[in-house]
Structure 1
Amino acid sequence: MRILLVILILLTVWSCQVEPPEEKEIEKSKDIIKVTIEGLIYPSEDRKIISPVTARVKKIYKSTGDYVRKGEVILELDIKDLERKYRQALINYKISKIRYEEFYLPQRITASDVAINNAKEDLLKSYELYKKGYISLSELHSAEIRYETLLKSRKKSEYTYRKDSYLLQKKRKEALENLKKAKIALEKAKEALKYRYIISPISGFIAKLSPIEGQEIFKNDEIGEIINIDKVKLKGAFFPGTYQFLKVGMEGDVKCFTVPAYVGKAKIEKLVPIVDPTLGRMVLYMTLDNRNYILQPQTKCLISFKFKPEEVGAMGLDLPKEGNEIFIKSNIKSKKLK
């Protein structure tokens, strides 16, 4: 009986010392201040579609709003003009090469020199005829082979170069410069032939695609945009006093102005201690899942972090007279997106 009495007395004393759960929450809230900042949603990837060459649009395979995979064809260009420019660049290069080699003919004129000169003149005529479509590619190759064969046979024999003179050196230098320019033009024309198709640089949705079929687009023109919003970036704006208390990996509560409202948590991935001119604050970055695509670019969000009262004081903020939340405004003027 005495033992039971002692146990009852101990339980009574212990229950008096333990605080109710409600009191613990109240005491806990007094020790924590929630600081809330504003933020905006951005695509996780955003790439402009730039025209690599000047050409006409032959066929468009995709349109605004379509989802494309990286490397998927968006549109096809008409490369007839590019092929014509390549043929011209090729002929100009070969002519420049022949002009340059003229300055290394032997001093004495021989029968082989006459044959080489005739073959050269025939080849130059063949180039012009090929450009105009009067002879076939095989006929052009025959003229090239005839000239190159005679040239090689002559190089096997010993000869002396013309005496250098100021005029000869000047012409030789000019011919060399022309040859270099012709080679660069040929390489560019050849590279342009690769751009028959314009492909998607990333996986995502086509946010903009401006050309129409038959339209001429110019090199380096911005003709569209692709965004990836499978995941989105949340860019939060905070004032300098908060920087020392924010850390990469720190978790915050996120609420975005969508219908239905997006509510979740995210960790800081990056802190930028430079004031962003758009938001007027330092910025942080978080990544949010966006499987249902409720978070669209420029959606406004609120990000909340919990701090101790002394940390809030060190930030230069006044403690709230009522409640335990401080809201920090920025230059964000985005509207609610529904």
Structure 2
Amino acid sequence: MKRGIITALVIILALAGIGMVLTNNKKKNEAKTAIVAQGGGAVSVRTAVIKREPIDLDFAVNGVFAPNQELNFLSENAGRVTKIYVSEGDRVTKGQIIARIDAEIINTDKETAEANLQNAIRDEARYSSSFKTGGVTQQQLDQAKLAVENARLKLQSASRKVSDANVKSPINGIINKKYIEVGAFVNTQGTQMFEIVDVSKLKLKVNVNENQVASIKIGDQAQIKSNVFPTENFAGKVSFIAAKADNSLNFPVELVVENNKKQDIKAGMYGTAIFKFPKQAPALTIPRGSFVGSVSSNQVFVLENGNTAKTRKVVAGRILGENVEILEGLNEGETVITSGQINLVDGTAVAPVK
């Protein structure tokens, strides 16, 4: 019995508390309504006067340097490594011998191919002589000539393998990684031997937005700055512009950059590309936040008579940072509403905040 009375008291007190909260909220809402009524019901907004201003298309974008050429050099012949002529960090030139593979078996194959070619040449001479006297047919002579050609091709292949026993660098660059040691066995499946990197030229890979990519083209020049060497200027040229945006709706762009004589810039360092463009004619611009929803809506609110919001259809041009170019729909000197549009409809009374 006592437990039931206590429960009832708790419920009554809880309901009383809820009632007090609702009463307080009602009073607060009535107070707010009274304030709005005193202000004539106008919605507070911020505004901006439309101006004709110079257009600055210059922009800077950060990226990462990559080597102009990068090669993982694989073995072409099977054999044991007998000599390595370079170490990691050494500079090499195209055609330079950097290692040697034991060519004993390869030399034997070449000697055999040479002997087979000589035999084929002698056979062809005998068949040719016999053909003149009617001792062999034309078909037999043709087969002898074909045997000579096949033997000559096999000798060329064997000679190429002997030449390949001297492993030569296919590009100019730096030995970035050495994967083999003297005595190691490499096979014809392509054992990785060296990683060679060319940083005499580099590629600065950056991502630009749709407005920036519209301003650049293949061959455009840009000033390149390195974060590690901020006082030194490098020159870059646009070599690639993606035809399709990535998942973040940015466009990958590559610039070829000439390294200095000491090749101070390394692949993997950060860099900045600075694009500069000719001076543009002044244009009407408004703050980006003026648009209802987004720039693609092409709709803004214009302040009329100092206290009324009127909708206006416009044609937006380029997005220039925090401003947007206006091609049609607005005139210089008019005032647009830059915040508070969510509370507005056409003809709403407003109170600009100074």
TM-score, with length taken from structure 1: 0.55
Structure with the bigger percentage of helix: 1
Structure 2: distance between partners of 1:252 and 1:273: 17
Alignment-mate amino acid for residue 182 of structure 1: A
SS at match of 1:194: helix
Which sits farther off after the overlay, 266-275 or 58-67? 266-275
Deviations, residues 236-274 of structure 1 (Å, cap 9, x unaligned): 333455444225665545444x55667745343535453
**Counterpart residue number, 1:73:** 97
Alignment-mate amino acid for residue 64 of structure 1: E
The one of 223, 233, 241 aligned to 2:203? 233
Report how far residue 191 of structure 1 moved: 3.0
Alignment-mate amino acid for residue 283 of structure 1: V
Alignment-mate amino acid for residue 212 of structure 1: E
Given the alignment of the two structures, is residue 57 of structure 1 paired with residue 26 of structure 2, yes or no?
no
SS at match of 1:268: strand
Q: Tell me, which stretches of 5 or more residues in structure 1 are unaligned? A: 1-28, 108-158, 323-338
Given the alignment of the two structures, is residue 183 of structure 1 paired with residue 156 of structure 2, yes or no?
no
Distance 1:206-1:53 versus aligned 2 partners, 3 A rule:
same
Distance 1:260-1:54 versus aligned 2 partners, 3 A rule:
same
Report how far residue 184 of structure 1 moved: 0.3
Q: Is the 8 Å Cα contact of residues 57 and 320 (structure 2) preserved in structure 1?
A: no
Structure 1: distance between partners of 2:235 and 2:115: 61
Structure 1: distance between partners of 2:128 and 2:219: 71
The one of 195, 218, 225 aligned to 2:164? 195
Report how far residue 88 of structure 1 moved: 0.8
Given the alignment of the two structures, is residue 160 of structure 1 paired with residue 162 of structure 2, yes or no?
no
**Counterpart residue number, 1:215:** 184
Number of aligned residue pairs: give it: 239
Report how far residue 69 of structure 1 moved: 4.1
Report how far residue 83 of structure 1 moved: 1.4
Given the alignment of the two structures, is residue 85 of structure 1 paired with residue 109 of structure 2, yes or no?
yes
Report how far residue 185 of structure 1 moved: 0.3
Report how far residue 46 of structure 1 moved: 3.2
SS at match of 2:87: coil
Runs of 4+ off more than 6 Å: 276-280, 311-315
Deviations, residues 184-233 of structure 1 (Å, cap 9, x unaligned): 00122123333342233444310122222223334583522222324433
Deviations, residues 309-338 of structure 1 (Å, cap 9, x unaligned): 86999885353169xxxxxxxxxxxxxxxx
Distance 1:277-1:76 versus aligned 2 partners, 3 A rule:
farther
**Counterpart residue number, 2:345:** none
SS at match of 2:243: strand
Deviations, residues 127-154 of structure 1 (Å, cap 9, x unaligned): xxxxxxxxxxxxxxxxxxxxxxxxxxxx
SS at match of 1:183: helix
**Counterpart residue number, 1:281:** 251
Q: Is the 8 Å Cα contact of residues 127 and 136 (structure 2) preserved in structure 1?
A: no
SS at match of 2:81: strand
Structure 1: distance between partners of 2:161 and 2:178: 22
**Counterpart residue number, 1:19:** none
**Counterpart residue number, 2:174:** 205
Deviations, residues 86-118 of structure 1 (Å, cap 9, x unaligned): 1111122223334444544548xxxxxxxxxxx
Deviations, residues 8-48 of structure 1 (Å, cap 9, x unaligned): xxxxxxxxxxxxxxxxxxxxx97435433343212234344
Structure 2: distance between partners of 1:260 and 1:104: 75
Q: Tell me, which stretches of 5 or more residues in structure 2 are unaligned? A: 1-52, 286-294, 296-315, 325-354
Given the alignment of the two structures, is residue 319 of structure 1 paired with residue 321 of structure 2, yes or no?
yes
Report how far residue 74 of structure 1 moved: 1.3
Structure 2: distance between partners of 1:278 and 1:43: 25
Structure with the bigger percentage of strand: 2
**Counterpart residue number, 1:23:** none
